[in-house]
Amino acid sequence: MLFDPAHRLWLLRGPTTSYAVRLAEDDSVRHVHWGAPLTLAQATQVAERAAPAASSFEAVAGVDELAVEGGARFGPPSLLVRFADGTRAVEWRYAGHDADGEQLRIHLRDRHYPLRVTLHYRMPAGTDVIERWTTVENPDDGAAITILRCDSAAWAVPHRPAYRMSHLTGGWNSEFQLRRTEVPVAETVLTSRRGITSHHANPWLAVDDGTAGEEHGEVWSTALAWSGSWRITLHRDPFGRTTWTGGFGHEGLSWSLAPGETLQTPVFAGLYTAGGFGSASRAWHGYVRGHVLPHPGETRPVLYNSWEATGFNVDEAGQLALAARAAALGVELFVTDDGWFGDRNSERAGLGDWVPNRVRFPAGLGPLAAQVRRLGMRFGLWVEPEMVNPDSDLYRAHPDWVLHMANRDRTEMRHQLVLNLARPDAAEWAHAWLDRLVREHQIDFLKWDANRPFTEAGWPGHADPDRLWIGHTRAVYRIMDRLRADHPGLRIEACAGGGGRADLGILARTDQVWASDNTDPVDRIGIQHGFSQLYPAQVMGAWVTDSPNPATARRTPLRFRFHVAMAGALGIGGDLTAWTADELKEAAELVAAYKEARTVIQHGTPFRLRGDGTLTAVEYRHENEHVVLAWCPSRRFGHQPAPLHLAAVQADAVYRNRDTGATHPGALLLYSGLPLDLPPGDHASALVRLQRLS
């Protein structure tokens, strides 16, 4: 970090990027530069070029790092407050800065009212990612301050002739659909009002000038580390600037900051890359591994999950039959999904009663866990700690523990309600039973689900009920953190009805994400493509299930299903008791092939390769090893997919196919493409392992 006191300008520098901010005359912190590396002198020159306001109708010149209400500001504010006397605007006074190692803190306070704000900037060593967050404090001598909005950060990109945004949208069974669209001259809001990250939008956004491609062009992207409701507002003004602000909570919430209290936002991380969307993804993956995940070096085990095989019809004998077959396939972690507890015979009852069902598991979970271990596998369980069925002993005992509002219905979704874990008693209860369960059975893995959004999110009797939107998510984080600390061997999969809770916040305390309940391999290619924009392969849970697929009724060959699921942390979720001997044999071979390739897939660097529309592929590189997974969902008559040009090989090196022994000069892999042995017909796929020889 460099500081120019004369110009009151700070410059942060990463390996290939720099970021500069300065103090304006009114002591607000203004954006100067985010992009290619600049010297301090160059950044100062950029700052001096700031254009004056265009007319008496326009805002103050320059872009705020955390825009407030007050003065001539008309764009989307990042921080909105109301003081006890009704004043809403903020006027800043600079209160110093400090920096240690990777972090810069710029301190501000209001000129009159007891409000202190710190803008935090951190560039973790070796990355170009800038982590930004805000703390707001009400020092111990004033009245309460009402916070109407408190974002983590606002971002600005340099002036360009055009702007395009890339974002992820979708729904249940269709998460992570990548959309690229011109940024309208308007305010565009990406948000979740659901209390979870959501299937419908993911808190990731990339902006370019409309010309970036997979391997070329400047891309500015940001990702919010938060697993509850959130909002990102992108603003393209009529004069050619694009900025965005984002943070936790959605519009309309407020909370009261009591004297002595501090509010800290989650991290909103930003990344500038000059090598296209592929290089942006690779840099994000490096950041997630290096600075977010708890166990990035660990190779994710091949898991089996019982959900699609049994639904709620879970019992000891059935699970043991599946476990025996799973172990024979080479599965390393056996996970019993929903249905093992309480009166959970359907989605109508039992959620909240976390004791093994006495009919289905007469001797508890002990015999199943022991047999799974004898078979050489680890043992995992599905849980949904934030939810309750009204038809449960828990709800009968504590009807006041759920989110609810006086004089309003309690809207049920999937016959369940949401527990208010912002309540210390409910959170303590959730931690206690989880801790007991993990301890009693030495559970290796929890699939932590959340199968509905918030509705009627009230807290009758509480003076500041909107706090629960943040308090609930923080309680989830605290419970997970405490469980992990007390059970160092425990691994957690994040899930919310599939991919409804994937974000950098949850990834800081989980090991993988269940990306979608949709296990159709053709649909999955698109879901996985979107997921890979931000999140690395090692956290992407992907199962092979039965054909026809239960969601889409599409029939696909086992090999194709495996090759698609191998692009992440491979799992199997089919009804193995119905698989033929031939299918089981082929599946065992494919699991073995995955184990040969997974170091490269899980720990390597991915290059997304696009063919001619019929062929899609990903090339993973790890040291001298390369793995290519190629998928061709359908082909028209007489049409051969165009050659698959590899992206991560060197022209002057030679590569050997590890399975066939054939050698390929790198120059040909780059320019003529990789020969693929694709079977005829639809749903063709290939797994190719190459080793660099020289």
Among 390, 465, 498, 571, binds ligand GLA (CB under 6 A): 498
> Smaller CB distance to ligand GLA: residue 246 or 499?
499
> Smaller CB distance to ligand GLA: residue 23 or 506?
506
> Smaller CB distance to ligand GLA: residue 151 or 384?
384
Residue 349 within binding range of ligand GLA, rule CB under 6 A = no
Residue type, 492: I
CB of 437 to ligand GLA, least distance (A): 17
Among 449, 511, 619, 625, binds ligand GLA (CB under 6 A): 449
Name the active-site residue from 353, 517, 523, 546: 517
CB of 378 to ligand GLA, least distance (A): 18
CB of 549 to ligand GLA, least distance (A): 14
Report cis status (omega within 30 of 0) of the bond before 548.
yes
Interacting residues of 45 by C-beta distance below 8 A, sequence separation 6+: none
Options 243-251, 274-282, 295-303, 492-500: segment touching ligand GLA (CB under 6 A):
492-500
- How far apart CA 493 and CA 511 sit, in angstroms, is 6
Residue 531 within binding range of ligand GLA, rule CB under 6 A = no
For residue 308, give the 3-state DSSP assignment: helix
- Is residue 449 part of the annotated active site? The answer reads yes
Residue type, 42: Q
Residue 128 within binding range of ligand GLA, rule CB under 6 A = no
Residue 517 within binding range of ligand GLA, rule CB under 6 A = yes
CB of 349 to ligand GLA, least distance (A): 13
- How far apart CA 295 and CA 16 sit, in angstroms, is 27
CB of 450 to ligand GLA, least distance (A): 9
Residue 266 within binding range of ligand GLA, rule CB under 6 A = no
- From the list 46, 56, 49, 57, the residue with the least C-alpha distance to 11 is 46
Residue 304 within binding range of ligand GLA, rule CB under 6 A = no
DSSP H helical ranges for 199-315: 276-287, 307-310
Burial label for 289, CB within 10 Å (0-12, 13-18, 19+), is middle
- How far apart CA 212 and CA 587 sit, in angstroms, is 40
Q: Which two structure tokens, joined as six digits, stand for 201?
A: 């939008």
Among 337, 386, 466, 520, binds ligand GLA (CB under 6 A): 337
Burial label for 82, CB within 10 Å (0-12, 13-18, 19+), is middle
Q: Which residue is nearest to ligand GLA (CB)?
A: 338
Q: Are the beta carbons of 432 and 482 closer than 8 angstroms?
A: no
Among 44, 357, 451, 605, binds ligand GLA (CB under 6 A): 451
**What residues pair up with 220 in beta bridges, in sequence order?**
207, 272
Q: Which two structure tokens, joined as six digits, stand for 671?
A: 């320019």
**What residues pair up with 570 in beta bridges, in sequence order?**
542
Options 193-201, 257-265, 372-380, 491-499: segment touching ligand GLA (CB under 6 A):
491-499
Options 183-191, 356-364, 493-501, 666-674: segment touching ligand GLA (CB under 6 A):
493-501
Q: Are the beta carbons of 69 and 60 closer than 8 angstroms?
A: no
Q: Which two structure tokens, joined as six digits, stand for 678?
A: 């694709």
Q: Which two structure tokens, joined as six digits, stand for 562?
A: 């495996």
CA 199 to chain centre: 11
Among 316, 338, 386, 493, binds ligand GLA (CB under 6 A): 338
Residue 353 within binding range of ligand GLA, rule CB under 6 A = no
Residue 520 within binding range of ligand GLA, rule CB under 6 A = no
CB of 493 to ligand GLA, least distance (A): 10
Q: Are the beta carbons of 319 and 336 closer than 8 angstroms?
A: yes
Options 139-147, 282-290, 495-503, 587-595: segment touching ligand GLA (CB under 6 A):
495-503
CA 187 to chain centre: 24
Residue 307 within binding range of ligand GLA, rule CB under 6 A = yes
Burial label for 694, CB within 10 Å (0-12, 13-18, 19+), is exposed
Residue 543 within binding range of ligand GLA, rule CB under 6 A = no
> Smaller CB distance to ligand GLA: residue 218 or 523?
523
Q: Are the beta carbons of 224 and 246 closer than 8 angstroms?
A: yes
- How far apart CA 314 and CA 144 sit, in angstroms, is 52
Residue 514 within binding range of ligand GLA, rule CB under 6 A = yes
Residue 446 within binding range of ligand GLA, rule CB under 6 A = no
> Element (H or E) spanning 583, and its range?
helix 581-603
Name the active-site residue from 391, 449, 466, 520: 449
CB of 238 to ligand GLA, least distance (A): 44
> Element (H or E) spanning 440, and its range?
helix 424-441
Residue 137 within binding range of ligand GLA, rule CB under 6 A = no
CB of 355 to ligand GLA, least distance (A): 18
- How far apart CA 507 and CA 519 sit, in angstroms, is 22
> Smaller CB distance to ligand GLA: residue 338 or 444?
338
- From the list 439, 300, 310, 304, the residue with the least C-alpha distance to 365 is 439
Residue 445 within binding range of ligand GLA, rule CB under 6 A = no
Residue 382 within binding range of ligand GLA, rule CB under 6 A = yes
Residue 495 within binding range of ligand GLA, rule CB under 6 A = yes
Interacting residues of 55 by C-beta distance below 8 A, sequence separation 6+: none
> Smaller CB distance to ligand GLA: residue 413 or 588?
413
- How far apart CA 511 and CA 534 sit, in angstroms, is 15
Residue 65 within binding range of ligand GLA, rule CB under 6 A = no
Residue 175 within binding range of ligand GLA, rule CB under 6 A = no
Residue 619 within binding range of ligand GLA, rule CB under 6 A = no
CB of 408 to ligand GLA, least distance (A): 26
CB of 453 to ligand GLA, least distance (A): 13
- How far apart CA 625 and CA 459 sit, in angstroms, is 55
CA 354 to chain centre: 28
Q: Which two structure tokens, joined as six digits, stand for 359?
A: 């009919």
> Smaller CB distance to ligand GLA: residue 110 or 337?
337
CB of 415 to ligand GLA, least distance (A): 11
> Smaller CB distance to ligand GLA: residue 89 or 413?
413
Q: Are the beta carbons of 669 and 643 closer than 8 angstroms?
A: no
Alpha carbon distance, N-terminus to C-terminus of the chain: 40
The count of chain residues that interact with ligand GLA, using the rule CB under 6 A, is: 11
> Smaller CB distance to ligand GLA: residue 449 or 466?
449
CB of 546 to ligand GLA, least distance (A): 14
- Name the site residues for ligand GLA (rule: CB under 6 A): 307, 337-338, 382, 449, 451, 495, 497-498, 514, 517
Positions annotated as catalytic residues are 449, 517
